Structure 1
Amino acid sequence: MAIDVAAPARRVFPCVVFALTFGLLLSDYMSRQVLSAVFPFLKQEWGLTDTQLGSLTSVVALTVGVLAVPLSLVGDRWGRARSVVLTAVVWSLATIGCALAAGYGHLLAARLLIGVGEAAYGSVGLAIVLAVFAARRRAALTGAFMAGGSFGSVLGVALGGVLAAQFGWRWAFAAMGVLGLVLAGLYWAVIGERRLTAYKIEEEGSGQRRAKLSTLFSTPAVVLAYLGGGLQLFIAGSLFAWLPSYFNRGYSMAPDAAAKVAAVFILIMGVGMIVCGAVADRADSQATAAIAFCVLSAASLAAGFALEPGGAQLPLLAVGCFFAGGSTGPTGAMVARLTHESIRATAFGTYTFFNNLLGLAAGPLVTGILADRLGLETAMRYVPLVSVAAIALLIAGRAAYPSSLARIAR
């Protein structure tokens, strides 16, 4: 039976969808990034190396990257709302499993299961959000939605640091897992497949057909958006994982204080993603906007990490963090523009694959390996250099964008 959609509900329901989907994204990243706040506790209690600590972060992103496409395809076929609830339950239970870990191996296995749960959430959740809003708001919505990763990381790091200092690191994981289960239950009660279908905004030319999966890679511009956007997130992944430890070691802060300071910088990154997404929606070229954000981030972070820890360094790091994730909104909008709505969750799953493989998985692990050999302060000086490759890919994508749009039109 079809749902009759009144005008007031047409305005309110999309906002409810965004709020609950964004809330679960916060839970997603709180469960993922709470680990960074307890690095010092694990290093002291279990004697883990920086490479092992980095692997505990990277295994989640790597699992997300590997499984994002197949599980996003399941979401497109089986039902996006059902997929969201199931994945949230999986990552929440796995996070509670982290609290019960008896050693590094157990914790690594639990973190891998978190990645299984989170693999399709970002792509399916973003597809749900974009389906109920007008196309002209894509970059702003994509940037705002993906900023949930930064805000969730802030909450995970800050709250996790406080809980770990007061009650022990296991309680930090347990609290994040319980929160995820509560939000999953709320999502199941409020949002369903029939409602999403009733409020979906049909796109011009989409019709009822289902696009072929080969169209995920049908144009050079979309491939370069996957690669350039993913590589830029190497910077964000390294900052998410290692800023608490950087302030702990470089500034001789206590672990909970270092987590709080790092949370401020990660919050700045989230605000930057929202602002940059809104700016990109108003720019003549979203590809040009993405390139500009990458350049500003790389220059500021390179200058900041070149300085010794101290007051002069902090403003540069703040500017670099503000623009570090700024490319996510415009590159995500490019992916949406260059793929068909019927497979959009799968398209964002492909985008997530590259974001995690090249960025969120590679960043923490590579930085941890460098830190074991060179020290964390020196390792962080190399992180901004990755933006050079991202910028080159995005410049090539900008050049290919007009012809790729023409190919889509044909």
Structure 2
Amino acid sequence: MAFHHSAVDDEEDTSIGIPRRYAWIVFALTFGLLISDYMSRQVLNAVFPVLKSEWLLSDSQLGLLSGIVALMVGLLTFPLSLLADRFGRVRSLALMALLWSLATLGCALAQNYQHMLIARFMVGLGEAAYGSVGIAVVMSVFPKSMRATLASAFMAGGLFGSVLGMALGGAIAVKLGWRWSFASMALFGLVLAVLYPIIVRESRIAPKRLGAISQKSKAAISRPLRTLYCTRSVIGAYVGSGLQLFVVGTVLVWLPSYFNRYYAMDEGKAGGLAALIVLCCGAGTVCCGMLSDRLCRHSQIRKVDLSIAYCLGSCLLLSLAFALTAGPLQVILIALGMLIAAGTNGTTGAMVANLTHYKVHGTAFATLTLVNNMLGLAPGPFITGRVSDLIGLHEAFQLVPLISIGSAAVFIYIKRHYIADIARPKGDESSEACLKKSVGVMS
């Protein structure tokens, strides 16, 4: 079957005129801030055992400290990303980084559980729109042919940040105490927040040439916001990604505690081993994105096929892992499962970019982030914590991989519609028709 390009694919390349060296500088700084974002978010997981014993907390309370950040990201990512698209992405990113870094410093100063919960609330507020706006900035300075690779590499920054947050956080907690774990992450973020707007300029990443779009293109994309919800495939991409990240996010949050309880490791060793597995996840995310771009040059439907494979493969490997008792084989299987578990980050990121108009890419990725958090990253750790309180963390982990089956089912549904949806000119349906279609998908 011949592949027909959408209006998005035919649009003017937003990277034209931007020097490649400057594009990589923008990527490096934006990537660095994303690492800071997740270091501030995930350092908490490394000190779970300390907080649990010092403040006498339940797993449900610990899960809430983690989940409240994802909840805030889910609730606020869309409106804040929409504002950033309209009023300047660079300025918005710098302000976000400043807020989450100061809030992380507040975590270091917390005197009780209530103080920590408020500080984590503020961390979530600062991080709410960073991922969606940051990836929109990165995609705007590189060619369209690199979309899956960039999406997966950028999203892997979150995993690499998680690695550093857990490994460094655990090591610092052992040597200097858990408060210094938070303070160190805050300092790193503050430095980058100051440097970012000095080096990355709005005028250089969004030049005036983008205003020179043909009248035909303008007619085809007269209402770009409709592309956020106007096809079955884009709605499915949001949902499928969110369900798969329920699994990824839950394992990331609870692995240090799992190794602490079932492998009798201290906070430093548990965080270090968990960080190695997260590193596997991050490397796998990048490799899966590169594989997607390579295999999908002549057949876009392969993005969907790969998404299905990543979901089912990770479900099988993680289910086998948590059916075993503690030991080297279990660790190897967990690492292999996590190697492909987040592979859908690149494929769904590319799907969303291809199915929506570039003018609202920040808002499109905000929508993806919203669903990722509301379906996956926010409820996953909390629900698992509640189940752990009832039946134990090991038994709770046995149930988590099954969510990937639901994600795979959504991608199977997408496969039936993706080619037709991506070929349709953007903005050619009324808002009422698009909403009816979206409701049909969800039902």
Superposition TM-score tier, normalisation by shorter sequence = over 0.9
* 1:156-171 alignment, distance < 5 Å: 156-171=165-180
Change over 3 Å in CA distance of 1:199–1:182 after alignment to 2: farther
* 1:282-297 alignment, distance < 5 Å: 282-283=294-295, 284=299, 285-297=302-314
The one of 418, 439, 443 equivalent to 1:401 is: 418
Distance in structure 2 (CA, Å) of the matches to 1:187 and 1:398: 40
Change over 3 Å in CA distance of 1:6–1:378 after alignment to 2: closer
Contact 1:132–1:199 (CA under 8 A) maintained in structure 2: no
Aligned to 1:262: 274
1:197 has 2:206 as partner:
yes
The one of 292, 295, 304 equivalent to 1:280 is: 292
Which amino acid in the other structure matches residue 318 of structure 1? Answer: A
- Matched residue of 1:408: which SS? coil
The one of 197, 208, 228 equivalent to 2:240 is: 228
Contact 1:132–1:200 (CA under 8 A) maintained in structure 2: no
1:131 has 2:140 as partner:
yes
The one of 164, 184, 191 equivalent to 1:182 is: 191
Distance in structure 1 (CA, Å) of the matches to 2:209 and 2:25: 14
- Deviation track 1:269-302 (CA, whole Å, cap 9, x = no partner) reads 0000000000111223211111111111111000
Distance in structure 2 (CA, Å) of the matches to 1:298 and 1:384: 5
* 1:69-218 alignment, distance < 5 Å: 69-198=78-207, 211-218=223-230
Q: Following TM superposition, by how much is the alpha carbon of 1:211 offset from its aligned partner in structure 2, in angstroms?
A: 3.6
Aligned to 2:37: 28
- TM-score of the two chains, using structure 1 as the length reference: 0.95
Structure 1 residue ranges without an equivalent (≥5): none
Contact 1:305–1:380 (CA under 8 A) maintained in structure 2: yes
Distance in structure 2 (CA, Å) of the matches to 1:198 and 1:407: 28
Distance in structure 2 (CA, Å) of the matches to 1:164 and 1:203: 54
1:18 has 2:24 as partner:
no
Change over 3 Å in CA distance of 1:345–1:31 after alignment to 2: same
Distance in structure 2 (CA, Å) of the matches to 1:370 and 1:338: 37
Change over 3 Å in CA distance of 1:171–1:189 after alignment to 2: same
Let me know the Cα RMSD of the aligned residues: 1.9
Distance in structure 2 (CA, Å) of the matches to 1:211 and 1:304: 48
Structure 2 residue ranges without an equivalent (≥5): 1-14, 429-443
1:368 has 2:385 as partner:
yes
* 1:329-344 alignment, distance < 5 Å: 329-344=346-361
Change over 3 Å in CA distance of 1:366–1:82 after alignment to 2: same
Aligned to 1:55: 64
Contact 2:224–2:356 (CA under 8 A) maintained in structure 1: no
Structure 1 window deviating more from structure 2 (192-201 vs 124-133): it is: 192-201
Aligned to 1:239: 251
Count of residues in correspondence between the two structures: 405
Which amino acid in the other structure matches residue 47 of structure 1? Answer: L
Identity among equivalent positions (%) equals 50
- Deviation track 1:175-230 (CA, whole Å, cap 9, x = no partner) reads 11111010011111100111112398899976697744233100000000000011
- Matched residue of 1:390: which SS? helix
Aligned to 1:354: 371
Distance in structure 2 (CA, Å) of the matches to 1:81 and 1:173: 25
Q: Following TM superposition, by how much is the alpha carbon of 1:102 offset from its aligned partner in structure 2, in angstroms?
A: 1.2
Structure 1 window deviating more from structure 2 (398-407 vs 83-92): it is: 398-407
Distance in structure 1 (CA, Å) of the matches to 2:325 and 2:208: 53
1:317 has 2:326 as partner:
no
Q: Following TM superposition, by how much is the alpha carbon of 1:408 offset from its aligned partner in structure 2, in angstroms?
A: 3.2
- Matched residue of 1:312: which SS? helix
